[in-house]
């Protein structure tokens, strides 16, 4: 069964990828519609099978083989052969020869353009079919006999007369709607309303965002033509579908993350398309060659290259991880943009033990000004918010004086000043402003500086390697410091006195009343009372899933799954279910465990564990809860989800929330979590789960979801 599925999947993907999709429904519809012209249908399918066989023989059976990247140009070639030429023996021979040429061209062009992170699109088909057309029109006999049709007239000459009706639908439907459907069918070299309607249904099933862009670009093209009168008889439905609409859909929803700006760029493609279509039509008319979808290729490759060049200066997000679904691309980015800080920042901890208070924050009123404003001053306060015990006339009276100062992260010591006297209370040393100081290099362009330390208390020297939490020295009152405190800042250069950088601490507790609030990759505010995060060793050990870790999950109903942990080429860890082919990517940063994405069967035990352990903090304080957002598509109300899909680039009204906490039991720890849906302020529960941890090992989990109660026992050999 798996072999049949492995064969069918790349075939259907070869069709669906024409519309930048991997949706099997859309692929099946396109396969069916291609047979509206039986010759094109058989030729297209034959070319797909031949190209897949060639790539398999060449051992190019990776992701590009499965997604149809090497075969969709062959599909276009076969369909074009059926649309342009009459069937005879030479038709079959030249189709096979041209198909081989397209596969070679696809491999060459894709490899060359991929170095610039650019797609090949339909360039291999265009170049090879141009050669075929030039060959068939040459003075030498190739045996290829060209057909004549209204569609070919459209392709060759551009504007055409659409007055001829197509049966009942052509007469009953409004002209614009009829033109819209014919434009979609033209991508497969057809001009049938019914074919366009089926394709529209397939695209709607695949993506509401892509469908909306097709409609918007179609209306924009018709509107622009009515203003410019570029085509007095109307725009060619071939160029509407294969160039203008496809170019807008691709750049607005596939190559960029859908947003208001991507939609505006998609609309901007329309006047660009008018220019490119007219210019290329004039140029290629010299050789009596149609331009096919070359304008679509030129527009998208040019815009993508431009966006790549301007990089971070662009307000458009390029799609870096391609899921072949505009919705999934968008929801994935929205879900992860605030969750993957572990991959964006060096993990910094607070440079002290116990609870300290921020006496002066960023852009403070005393000394944190201008380019030196992104700094923090820390002191220790009592219940009355005082920093000292009576009488407060000596440095020793202050709670923070002589307290340990720690390295906030691993690094190498760059500079040390250790000889400056501590000030009497109320006095300041303006000549040696920073006092006793340690500067540590954590990464290129990232240094921490800790100042006003106690004289001769520093335990490190330049060149020493330090680990996070290592003792550096003790808090003092040296430099510009009227009373003992610790000055902390991040900077881009190793010099004492460097300008400051805004940079967050990874995880810490912020004391609010009698409870601690967990802060994640945040910058403390003035008067916040902070302490470092305490890790529960048992929880940390239980979720320490290293590559090679294997486990067997079994339920009371007899369902079993075998899991193993791997790392991919990007060094990202994931759990793979050998039983269901599902995969769940995760991060364990030593402070918490959390999943980043899931792929595969949503009835598998791995999926239920993904929901249960979506985010687990390694702290057993009962008041600490992990809160997070789950991907929006997890909602089980498909009607609302479709409505959200249409609005998602501009506004999100659905959110899926997750909360988890730790219960301490006599036999171990329980991770208790729940997932709930919020729509317009109304909350509805989705699932509840409990994970059982004993002696630093995962034992079992229970989840209640969709009126089902599932219990899974966990056994492992390593």
Torsion (CA) 454, 459, 464, 466 in degrees, nearest 10: -90
Mean pLDDT by runs of 10 across the 718 residues of the chain is 69 95 95 94 96 91 84 96 93 96 95 92 96 86 77 54 53 88 94 93 96 97 93 88 96 96 96 95 90 96 93 82 92 81 86 94 90 94 91 93 96 96 92 95 96 96 95 96 95 93 92 79 92 89 93 91 91 93 92 90 94 91 78 82 92 90 87 90 90 92 92 80
Structure tokens at 300: 């998208």
Closest CA to 120 of 131, 133, 132, 105: 105
Give dist(CA 542, CA 554) in Å, integer.
18
Mean pLDDT value across the chain? 90
Structure tokens at 132: 């075929």
Instruction: State pLDDT tens for residues 486-517.
Output: 999 999 999 998 999 999 999 898 987 777 78
Give dist(CA 304, CA 316) in Å, integer.
11
Residue 419 CB neighbour total at 10 angstroms: 11
Give dist(CA 143, CA 134) in Å, integer.
13
pLDDT at residue 631, rounded to an integer: 85
Cβ neighbourhood burial of 287 (10 Å; 0-12, 13-18, 19+):
exposed
Q: How far is CA 477 from each of CA 247, 379, 395, 435, 437, rounded to the nearest angstrom?
A: 65, 11, 7, 8, 11
Order the strands of the 669-679 sheet from edge to edge. Answer: 615-617, 592-599, 583-588, 573-577, 560-567, 550-555, 708-716, 697-705, 682-694, 669-679, 654-664, 625-630
Give dist(CA 269, CA 333) in Å, integer.
24
Instruction: State pLDDT tens for residues 518-559.
Output: 888 899 999 999 998 888 889 999 999 999 999 999 998 889
Query: In sequence order, which residues have a C-beta less than 8 Å from that of residue 362 and are 6 or more positions away?
Result: 368, 373, 374, 375, 376, 502, 523
Q: How far is CA 632 from each of CA 205, 325, 491, 599, 674, rounded to the nearest angstrom?
A: 17, 14, 38, 15, 15
Q: How far is CA 167 from each of CA 163, 173, 179, 185, 630, rounded to the nearest angstrom?
A: 12, 10, 14, 16, 49
Give dist(CA 548, CA 569) in Å, integer.
15
Query: In sequence order, which residues have a C-beta less than 8 Å from that of residue 658 and are 6 or more positions away?
Result: 614, 615, 626, 627, 628, 629, 630, 673, 674, 675
Q: Which helix (H) or strand (E) holds 106?
A: helix 89-114
Query: In sequence order, which residues have a C-beta less than 8 Å from that of residue 296 and are 6 or more positions away?
Result: 121, 122, 242, 243, 246, 247, 250, 273
Give dist(CA 481, CA 471) in Å, integer.
22
Length of the chain: 718
Give dist(CA 358, CA 445) in Å, integer.
25
Structure tokens at 623: 């008041």
């Amino acid at each position: 069964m798996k072999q049949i599925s492995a064969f069918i999947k790349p075939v259907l993907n070869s069709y669906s990828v024409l519309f930048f999709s991997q949706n099997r429904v859309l692929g099946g519809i396109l396969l069916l519609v291609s047979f509206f012209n039986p010759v094109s249908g058989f030729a297209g399918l034959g070319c797909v099978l031949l190209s897949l066989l060639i790539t398999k023989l060449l051992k190019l059976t990776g992701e590009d083989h499965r997604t149809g990247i090497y075969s969709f140009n062959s599909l276009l070639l076969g369909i074009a052969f059926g649309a342009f030429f009459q069937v005879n023996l030479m038709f079959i021979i030249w189709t096979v020869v041209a198909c081989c040429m397209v596969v070679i061209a696809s491999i060459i062009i894709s490899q060359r353009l991929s170095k610039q992170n650019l797609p090949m699109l339909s360039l291999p088909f265009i170049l090879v079919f141009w050669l075929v057309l030039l060959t068939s029109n040459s003075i030498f006999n190739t045996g290829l006999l060209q057909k004549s049709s209204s569609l070919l007239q459209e392709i060759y000459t551009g504007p055409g007369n659409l007055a001829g009706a197509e049966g009942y639908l052509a007469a009953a439907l409004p002209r614009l709607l009829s033109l819209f459907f014919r434009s979609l069918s033209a991508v497969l070299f057809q001009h049938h309303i019914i074919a366009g309607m089926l394709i529209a249904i397939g695209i709607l099933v695949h993506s509401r965002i892509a469908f909306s862009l097709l409609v918007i670009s179609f209306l924009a093209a018709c509107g622009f033509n009515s203003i410019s009168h570029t085509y007095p008889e109307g725009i060619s439905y071939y160029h509407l579908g294969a160039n203008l609409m496809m170019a807008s859909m691709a750049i607005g929803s596939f190559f960029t993350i859908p947003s208001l700006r991507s939609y505006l760029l998609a609309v901007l493609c329309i006047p660009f398309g008018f220019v490119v279509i007219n210019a290329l039509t004039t140029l290629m008319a010299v050789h009596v060659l149609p331009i096919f979808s070359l304008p679509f290729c030129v527009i998208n490759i040019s815009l993508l290259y431009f966006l790549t060049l301007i990089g971070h200066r662009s307000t458009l997000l390029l799609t870096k991880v391609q899921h072949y679904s505009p919705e999934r691309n968008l929801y994935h980015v929205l879900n992860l943009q605030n969750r993957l800080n572990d991959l964006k920042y060096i993990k910094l901890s607070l440079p002290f033990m116990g609870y300290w208070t921020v006496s002066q924050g960023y852009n403070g009123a005393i000394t944190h000004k201008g380019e030196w404003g992104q700094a923090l001053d820390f002191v220790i306060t009592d219940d009355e918010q005082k920093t000292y015990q009576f009488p407060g006339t000596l440095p020793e009276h202050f709670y923070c004086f002589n307290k340990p100062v720690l390295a906030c992260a691993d690094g190498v010591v760059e500079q040390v000043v250790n000889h400056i006297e501590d000030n009497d209370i109320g006095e300041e040393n303006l000549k040696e402003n920073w006092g006793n100081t340690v500067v540590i290099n954590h990464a290129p362009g990232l240094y921490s500086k800790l100042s006003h330390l106690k004289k001769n208390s520093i335990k490190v020297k330049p060149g020493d390697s330090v680990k996070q939490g290592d003792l550096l020295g003790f808090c003092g009152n040296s430099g510009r410091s009227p009373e003992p405190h610790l000055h902390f800042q991040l900077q881009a250069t190793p010099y004492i006195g460097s300008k400051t950088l805004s940079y967050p601490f990874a995880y810490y507790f912020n004391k609010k009343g009698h409870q601690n609030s967990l802060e994640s990759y945040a910058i403390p505010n003035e008067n916040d009372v902070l302490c470092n995060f305490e890790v529960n060793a048992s929880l940390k050990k239980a979720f320490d899933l290293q590559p090679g870790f294997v486990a067997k999950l079994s339920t009371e109903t007899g369902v079993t799954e075998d899991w193993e942990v791997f790392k991919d080429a990007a060094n990202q860890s994931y759990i793979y279910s050998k039983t269901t082919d599902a995969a769940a990517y995760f991060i364990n940063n030593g402070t918490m465990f959390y999943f980043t994405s899931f792929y595969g069967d949503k009835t598998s035990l791995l999926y239920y564990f993904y929901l249960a352990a979506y985010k687990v903090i390694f702290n057993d304080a009962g008041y600490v809860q992990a809160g997070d957002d789950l991907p929006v598509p997890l909602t089980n109300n498909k009607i609302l989800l479709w409505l959200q899909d249409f609005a998602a680039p501009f506004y999100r009204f659905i959110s899926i929330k997750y909360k988890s906490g730790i219960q301490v039991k006599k036999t171990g720890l329980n991770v208790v979590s729940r997932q709930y849906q919020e729509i317009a302020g109304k909350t509805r529960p989705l699932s509840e789960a409990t994970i059982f941890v004993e002696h630093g090992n995962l034992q079992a989990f229970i989840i209640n979801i969709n009126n089902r109660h599932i219990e899974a026992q966990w056994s492992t050999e390593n």
